[in-house]
Structure 1
Amino acid sequence: MGGRGEPPDGPPEGAFSGAEDEYRSVVFDESFVRAARLQEYSAQERTIDHTPAVRRRRTPHTGLSRQALALLLVIALAFATAIFMGIRTPYRSTLAERPVEELRTTVVPLAPQGPVPGAADPQELYAHSRAADFEVGAEGIPWPAHGSTAHFSDSQVVAALTYARDYIVASSLDPAVLAGGSPDAVRSLLDPGQLDQFDQSFAHPAADGRHLPTGWLVRFDPARVRLADPRIRMRGSLRTAETDADTLEVAADPTVVYALRPAGAAADARASLFTVRRELLFRFDRDDLRLHQVQLVSSSVQAGPLSCPGDSAERFRPLLAGQSAQAGGPAATDPYAPDAAPALCGALAPDAEPKP
């Protein structure tokens, strides 16, 4: 049967059929032939036994052009430069960087005027003390009302309050810190500009107003006392203020009350209360807010019951139930010593002690 449009008996001899005419315009040039994946064997090659009619050609793999290689090299150099600059750039901004102020500290031991009250049940002591209405732990520091300032957003003010509160919790409630262990939980929150002073305070403590460990945090002598109740009572407040266009300050006044027993004493041994009032001033620049760190620039501490002649610079050595303060006043102060800090001591008011 003839093709489309052909006579019934087929096309005349020597004429192209309709099917052939459809492909007459197709031209197979040299590049098309070279790009073909299949190649037909020659007649001689096909006479070999088991030789297929066609074979698959291997297409040559073209390498990257010089332009592509140059582009990859530029990208690699830019990436390496970015990493190098990231390592070399300090984490504090170099724009208008200001020196960090040293911490100034006063620690005032409060001596009882008689034997320290005690009871076997710490809850009884709390219930009959000025701390009866205090909250447990960080709940004793409620969030104050807050808002944006002239140069700081509300979120930045909240960050400053949060970081100050974190420092108070770590330096007043952390069991390892209280027991005289590593102070790293507190150190990790400080601005890097204060780390040297902090480290010097613990390596070489001194009652000079700048290197008192008890000015940075609360810790006890583990050879003398231990916590009688892990539910530490606390009450305090936080207040924020913008001091200039680049500085926020947070003032805090936590009062913390601990129930203590002698180290190694039985669980039913008489406990006593130890009170620490801290007035702290934190300072934050924009880097501090971004990096979750604080500058502690002022710390005023009152703690008791303690003996005035005792050393309260490195750690607290509280007077326990039934004990009385040693006779004598505070340590001597040398007015000729450079940067000398006066030795201070106060009397613990009777109303500040529990009445079990």
Structure 2
Amino acid sequence: MAGRADPPEGGAAGAPGAGDEEYRSIVFDDTFVNAARLQEFSAEQRAVENAVAVRDREPPAEPSLSRAVPKQGLALAMIILLAFAAAIYLGANNPYQSPRSLAAGRPAGSTVALVPDGEVPGQIDVEAIFGSGPVREFGVGSGGLELPDPKSTTHFSREQVLTALTLAKEYLTASALNPDVLVGGSLNEVRQLLGIEQQRQFDAVMDDEAGRSWATDWLVRFDRERVEMADPHVRVSGAFTFTEAAEDVLEIAGHHVFVYALRPTDSMGASASLFGVRREVRFQFGKEELRDRNVVLRQVDTLAGPMACEADPAVAFEPLLAGESAPQTVVAGIDPLVPDADRPVLCAALMPGQLNLS
């Protein structure tokens, strides 16, 4: 049974619904009616005397801000505001801010030349010269640079203390035990352990622009035109200590004696003699230096001999070798009232007999 439908040729003109085709898409729903500017009165309202059929409607009141903004929007805005405030607070109080680096000037230094009384003893047999006296108890090479048990401090963890001790050992190994450095060879192993600021100062010193800083403050070095190593293995004795110098500064101090077997250059048959260097080296580390694995060299105090009082140890040590002796003269005097005078060369007497600097 067929349903209602217009005939295929279309509805007849004037037929019911024939003129409504163009208005079929217009739907008068509740939203449209409620938004109308005119409102028709009810039959009861129109029955009142002098009543009209329709009236103008008051425009709807503007919604308040609290009603215009959805509750979800207010909550989201509040969350964003709180997050922004928290970011500002944490940025100002962040415990993980990038640490500041330490100011790294030239290291303070002092050097005392130890002058022998008489000729310097020597032997052909290097093992024999090392095997007598207190030197036979020393360690060999970096094995003599023993580290203490690292412990945490107030502001530095155990791992940070261990890193600082390790870097201090690496610096002493490079600057006082490396045969290439000892006889004026490559300096890269020493230089690369310094920060950028001290690298510039180190380069200036090595280019003979020392000022009040000496090359022998940064490292142990001999004049290779005159001296060579009779044995590349240096004997070492001493210890490291660590403490906090300030809230953000860890200080490592190395107290060591280094003993070198030396002889004249190109003299394989010449007797070897011992040359001792006692150094107290102070390093400092901040959080940035530990992160970048750099040392800050603060102070180096050195006793070195046998050496003549007239020797100039600024660029390199000038050892007295086997059979040599020091002239018994005094270097230029020191005026304590002139604070800006050139750094003096200090002298002391080396104990007679076998080398003993411990």
TM-score under structure 1 length normalisation: 0.69
**Deviation of residue 94 (structure 1)?**
6.4
Q: Deviations over 1:135-174 (max 9, x none)?
A: 1001111120221111111110000000000000000111
Offset at residue 102 of structure 1 (A): 2.8
Say whether 1:239 aligns with 2:241.
Answer: yes
Q: How does 1:90-129 map to 2 (within 5 A)?
A: 96-129=100-133
RMSD: 1.9
| 2:259 equivalent to 1:227 | no
TM alignment of 1:35-46, pairs within 5 A = none
Cα-to-partner distance string for 1:100-141 (whole Å, 9 max, x where unaligned): 243101111111011000010011111223211001001111
Do structure 1's residue 130 and structure 2's residue 108 form an aligned pair? no
| 1:204 matched residue in structure 2 | 208
Distance 2:261 2:308 in 1: 18
- In the alignment, the residues of structure 2 paired with residue 351 and residue 116 of structure 1 have an alpha-carbon distance, to the nearest angstrom, of 9
Tell me, in whole angstroms, the C-alpha distance in 1 between the residues paired with 2:118 and 2:176.
Answer: 27
The 1:204/1:337 distance shift into structure 2, 3 A limit, reads farther
- 2:292 matches 1:291: yes
Q: How far off is 1:236 after superposition? A: 1.5
DSSP 3-state at the match of 1:328: coil
Q: Deviations over 1:236-285 (max 9, x none)?
A: 1111111222110000011100111110102x321100001100000001
Give the secondary-structure state (helix, strand or coil) at the position aligned to 2:103. coil
Change over 3 Å in CA distance of 1:225–1:95 after alignment to 2:
closer
Q: Under a length normalisation based on structure 2, what TM-score does the superposition of the two structures give?
A: 0.69
Q: Which amino acid aligns with 2:142?
A: A
**Structure 1 CA distance for aligned equivalents of residues 235 and 320 of structure 2:** 19
CA distance in 2, matches of 1:227, 1:342: 28
Aligned to 1:273: 274
Q: Which runs of 4+ in 1 moved over 4 A?
A: 93-98
Return 5+ residue gaps in structure 2 as ranges. Answer: 1-96
The residue aligned with 2:309 is: 308
The aligned counterpart of 1:89 is none
Query: What percent of counterpart residues are identical?
Result: 41
Which whole-Å deviations, capped at 9, do the CAs of 1:41-97 have from their partners, x for residues lacking one? xxxxxxxxxxxxxxxxxxxxxxxxxxxxxxxxxxxxxxxxxxxxxxxxxxxx86545
**Residue pair 2:99, 2:287 contacting (<8 A) in 1 also:** no
The offset of 1:211, in angstroms, is: 1.7
- The whole-number CA distance in structure 2 between the counterparts of 1:170 and 1:101 is 21
> 3-state SS of the aligned residue for 1:316?
coil
| Structure 1 unaligned blocks of 5 or more | 1-92
Work out which of the two has the higher radius of gyration on C-alpha atoms and give 1 or 2. 2
Counterpart residue number, 2:330: 329
1:201–1:211 Cα contact (<8 Å) kept: yes
Task: State whether residues 333 and 343 of structure 1, in contact with CA within 8 Å, keep that contact through their aligned partners in structure 2.
Answer: no
8 Å contact 1:119–1:272 — kept in the other structure?
Answer: yes
Shift of 1:341: 2.5
- Quickly say closer, same or farther: Cα 1:309–1:96, change in 2 above 3 A: same
